[in-house]
Structure 1
Amino acid sequence: MRFGAVALLGLAATAVQAESLTSAMTYAYENNPQIASSFLSVRAARQGVRAAEGALLPTIGAAASVGHTWSNVPTRGGFNDSIGLQYDQTLFNNNASSAAIQAAEATYDAAVYGSKNTEQNVLLSVVQAYVNVVTNRRIVEIRRESIGFVEAQVRSARDRLELGEGTRLDVSQADARLAQSSASYQAAINNLRTSEANYQRWVGHAPGNLSGGYNYSSLLPSSLAAALSRATTDHPALLASAAQIRAAQHSYDETVSSFGPNLSLTGQVGASGFTGGAVGTEASVSLRLSIPIYTPKRDPAIESANIGQIQSQLEGLSNRDQIVEAVQQAWSGIEAMTAQIESATAAVAASRLALQAVIDQNELGQATTLDVLDARASVATVEEGLITAQSQRTIAAYSLIAAMGSLSAQELGLPVQPRTAEGEVVVPVVAPAQTDAWGNLR
């Protein structure tokens, strides 16, 4: 009785330690280097906005010099020195700086949406890795059971041969099927090792005991039309493409504006004559206006900016086509795998009944050992087909969610700390404790 209690406790502990898909995605979100790198890309884009804004700000610099001049004219030689400050500011540059700021802000938006798209891609890869490990482990177990069954048939065939009730052909066929089963089992082991390595790559640690439970039904759309509408409106890759188009347009405006008038202000104040004993100070202020009148040919920078604008629009259309295709493929995959699951479920039940019937016939001498082995192989094949169809349906479902732009930590409800677009953890503001007139907590 005590042993039974210990065994139950061990099973309970194993169940508690099983890692769910939600736990795997949570760990990946917090530790995956691709997601962390995407946050850094957003931060870098933020610095681009600050750099563009700095073009309208004044610059102040200090300079000092000392030297000596030799000349055959005595009044022109001797030591010279100076020290001073200079102030420079662009007052007007044909709105080129304004266009540069807008381009930088659009680039920042593209980086934000690109980071969200990276998050989706990583989480989808985690789902695929998780499902593949669970599936390959079940296939390994099925093929291990097949080896045990074939080994039992080999022993039975040899026993019947010794009793004079069987033939060497039965033994040879059983041995050959055992060799095939062992090779098939080793192939399943190799597939499992590959999937476990892929799991460690995307999740960030080796797979332990995986629960294999999936909960995605609430995220699936009601129809293909609804999925396409959501995808073409909210997918972060499309939003990033739209932002890149805006950035290219503003970059074109900046390039064109740079060929317009420019007005700048310069101010200087300084002193000189320290080495000569007669110190003097001077100050100046000036406005400089430059207006281009004629250029011999169209500057290639304008054409390059125009090409970049057209190219960004074409890339946006290409991204839209890819997303629409992904939605349609995932939707078709769900429907196909659902039908295949129904068929495979019926096939498993039928093949098991057929196997039992062949075993009964073999005991009565009406079926050979090879018939039994063929029937058992058929059971294993349809069981693997059912498991594969179930896993493919799960992957197709999450692929559809990702194609709609909904496979994010927020929409999945992952238990992660909220972060800003640049990856900084949002610390919740704690409301100050309320006290009464005497300072006591209410």
Structure 2
Amino acid sequence: MAGLRTVTISSVSALLLMTSFANAESLTEALSLAYTNNPTLNAARAGLRATDEGVPQALSGYRPTISGSGSATRSWTNYEYLSGSSRNSQTNSTNLGLEVQQILYRGNRTKNGVKQAEAAVQAARESLKATEQEILLDVATAYMDILQNQAILELRKQNVAFLQEQARSARDRFAVGETISTDVSQAEARLSSAISLVKVAEANLTTSQANYEMLVGKKPSKLVAGYAVDNLFPNSLNAALSKGLSSHPSIVAAQHNLDAAQLSVKIAEGALLPTVSVTGSADRSWSNNISSSNTHGATNSASITGAVSIPIFSGGANHSAVREAKETLGQTRIQLDLARDQVRANIVSAWSVLNAAIPQITAAQATVTASRLATRGVIEEQKVGQRTLLDVLDSQAELIDARISLVQVQHDRIVASFAVASSVGSLSAENLKLRVSLYNPKEHYQAVRDKWIGLRTPDGR
């Protein structure tokens, strides 16, 4: 495979419309730009950071809750006596209180909640890796699409130039009576068709350029040859399947989701167990009674209370939550099996495309060589009257088709290598050795895990 890879890259350099390296943009640079700028990838990173916050939220169950209270009241009272006299009274009162509550036991829901949050973080990290692989594969595909469509457009334009010359020659020969009008019509019909195919090629190139800009974040400049990444995956299908099924991010993420679902069952069951808590409170009240005899006073009070809450019946809600969690657990097990099946299918499919592309390149190169020689021979025979103009047009069409097929299989071979690397779970910025600052998800996690207070995110927002 290594030898064929070298031949393929060399052929791509020759056929995929390469430009000078000055001010050129390589596939590595495109992948690096996408790793930094791609909005889908950055959104996934932001989603992971949000998932990180689930851990400190779960850990808060171990910590006390503190609340303060305050109130101020003014009341008026009018006393009327049987003697006909009356007296007014006004009371001002103020109260300040502080309460501290510590949960001692809540059916292991806090412990299991922390474990569940950590499992969710691990799953989100693996999902981020899967997203990174998808984006890098999409960028490599878009890059090679541009090279392919540029090459096809150039071949279509060359064909138009050839057919223009054939049509002009046919008209000149018809004008002097050396040929018939049928040759002119055939040449002009082929020319019209070729011009329309140039428009199609231009549209395909524009589409691939727009897709590239969406993924990379900038318009493509001059692109140089792409390359295969055969070094990122094993040399046999069985080894690739073993690697993918054991370490692909989609499978690992599904395994962590299964852990989280199992903990969800335990958390739901914990709601059926007692809750033990201790609450301490302190209050200070001030009272000022304005009447015929003014009274002023302050009252201090404090208390500590231990409480046990035992759920007896919640209208069936807690039991339903347990059943729901169990059904979700069953769903997650199925999703894990589905992830394995999808990875297996993707590996087999990508591997098949790669193995098919390798011999196709050799066959396409041979076809191009043969078609080029045949076209030259037909043109020479047509000049001496042994072949017709239609023979020349058909031979030229076969040559163009053969050259386009070669461009396409070269494109498919490189894209297939990226697809295999992605399907086994090894297509990453680190493995590709991109010149970027690698995103480390642990930095944010460690910054917020034990954070008790603060509204700003670690980046200052």
Q: How does 1:423-434 map to 2 (within 5 A)?
A: none
Give the direction of change, closer, same or farther, for the CA distance of 1:128–1:165 in structure 2 (3 Å limit). same
CA contact (8 A) 2:146 2:209 kept: yes
Q: C-alpha displacement at 1:299, in angstroms?
A: 2.3
Tell me which moved more, 401-410 or 300-309: 300-309
| Runs of 5+ unmatched residues, structure 1 | 1-11, 425-442
Q: Which residue of 2 aligns with 1:345?
A: 365
Question: Which protein is richer in strand relative to its size?
Answer: 2
> Is 1:281 aligned with 2:300?
yes
Q: Which residue of 1 aligns with 2:34?
A: 28
Tell me which moved more, 130-139 or 56-65: 56-65
Q: How does 1:11-26 map to 2 (within 5 A)?
A: 14-26=20-32
* Percent identity between the two aligned chains: 35
Paired with 2:61 and 2:265, the residues of 1 have a C-alpha distance of 17
Give the direction of change, closer, same or farther, for the CA distance of 1:384–1:365 in structure 2 (3 Å limit). same
Give the direction of change, closer, same or farther, for the CA distance of 1:260–1:69 in structure 2 (3 Å limit). farther
1:80-127 CA deviation, whole Å, 9 max, x = no partner? Answer: 432121111101112111111111111111111111111111111001
Return the letter of the residue paired with 2:49.
R
Q: Which residue of 1 aligns with 2:47?
A: 41
CA contact (8 A) 1:249 1:309 kept: yes
> Is 1:271 aligned with 2:284?
yes
1:146-201 CA deviation, whole Å, 9 max, x = no partner? Answer: 00100111111122222321111111111111001101111111111111111111
Paired with 2:78 and 2:59, the residues of 1 have a C-alpha distance of 52
> Is 1:111 aligned with 2:124?
yes
CA contact (8 A) 1:40 1:422 kept: no
Return the letter of the residue paired with 1:292.
P
Paired with 2:75 and 2:345, the residues of 1 have a C-alpha distance of 76
Q: How does 1:161-176 map to 2 (within 5 A)?
A: 161-176=174-189
Paired with 1:200 and 1:79, the residues of 2 have a C-alpha distance of 70
Paired with 1:284 and 1:422, the residues of 2 have a C-alpha distance of 43
> Is 1:132 aligned with 2:151?
no
Paired with 1:114 and 1:140, the residues of 2 have a C-alpha distance of 38
Return the letter of the residue paired with 1:33.
P
CA contact (8 A) 1:36 1:423 kept: no
Q: C-alpha displacement at 1:13, in angstroms?
A: 9.8
| Runs of 5+ unmatched residues, structure 2 | 1-17, 81-88, 290-295, 445-461
Return the letter of the residue paired with 2:299.
G
Q: Which residue of 2 aligns with 1:291?
A: 310
CA contact (8 A) 2:144 2:226 kept: no
Q: C-alpha displacement at 1:78, in angstroms?
A: 4.4
Q: How does 1:220-235 map to 2 (within 5 A)?
A: 220-235=233-248
Q: Which residue of 1 aligns with 2:379?
A: 359
Name the SS for the 2:234 alignment partner.
coil
> Is 1:83 aligned with 2:89?
no
Q: C-alpha displacement at 1:55, in angstroms?
A: 1.5
Q: Which residue of 2 aligns with 1:374?
A: 394
Return the letter of the residue paired with 1:285.
I
TM normalised by structure 2 equals 0.86
| Correspondence for 1:261 among 250, 259, 274 | 274
> Is 1:308 aligned with 2:328?
yes
Q: Which residue of 2 aligns with 1:437?
A: none
Q: Which residue of 1 aligns with 2:348?
A: 328
CA contact (8 A) 1:42 1:422 kept: no
Q: Which residue of 1 aligns with 2:456?
A: none
Name the SS for the 2:46 alignment partner.
helix
Return the letter of the residue paired with 1:61.
S
Q: Which residue of 1 aligns with 2:65?
A: 59
Q: Which residue of 2 aligns with 1:192?
A: 205
Return the letter of the residue paired with 1:284.
S
Q: Which residue of 2 aligns with 1:145?
A: 158
Name the SS for the 1:417 alignment partner.
coil
Name the SS for the 1:152 alignment partner.
helix
> Is 1:421 aligned with 2:441?
yes
Paired with 1:349 and 1:166, the residues of 2 have a C-alpha distance of 31
Q: Which residue of 2 aligns with 1:159?
A: 172
1:51-79 CA deviation, whole Å, 9 max, x = no partner? Answer: 110111001121111224678999x9944
Q: C-alpha displacement at 1:274, in angstroms?
A: 3.6
CA contact (8 A) 1:106 1:244 kept: yes
Q: How well do the aligned residues superpose, as a CA RMSD in angstroms?
A: 2.1
Alignment length, in residue pairs?
A: 413
Q: Which residue of 2 aligns with 1:212?
A: 225
Paired with 1:364 and 1:306, the residues of 2 have a C-alpha distance of 84
Return the letter of the residue paired with 1:186.
K
Q: C-alpha displacement at 1:23, in angstroms?
A: 0.5
Give the direction of change, closer, same or farther, for the CA distance of 1:423–1:147 in structure 2 (3 Å limit). farther
TM normalised by structure 1 equals 0.89
Q: C-alpha displacement at 1:368, in angstroms?
A: 1.1
Q: C-alpha displacement at 1:422, in angstroms?
A: 6.1
Name the SS for the 1:207 alignment partner.
coil
Paired with 1:216 and 1:13, the residues of 2 have a C-alpha distance of 22
Paired with 2:368 and 2:162, the residues of 1 have a C-alpha distance of 17
Q: Which residue of 2 aligns with 1:398?
A: 418
Name the SS for the 2:223 alignment partner.
coil
Paired with 2:19 and 2:368, the residues of 1 have a C-alpha distance of 32
| Correspondence for 1:203 among 188, 196, 216 | 216
Give the direction of change, closer, same or farther, for the CA distance of 1:64–1:158 in structure 2 (3 Å limit). same
CA contact (8 A) 1:29 1:35 kept: yes
Q: C-alpha displacement at 1:273, in angstroms?
A: 2.7
Return the letter of the residue paired with 2:332.
S
Return the letter of the residue paired with 2:163.
V
Q: C-alpha displacement at 1:203, in angstroms?
A: 1.2
1:294-316 CA deviation, whole Å, 9 max, x = no partner? Answer: 56646211111111111111111
Q: Which residue of 1 aligns with 2:432?
A: 412
Name the SS for the 1:166 alignment partner.
coil
Name the SS for the 1:299 alignment partner.
helix
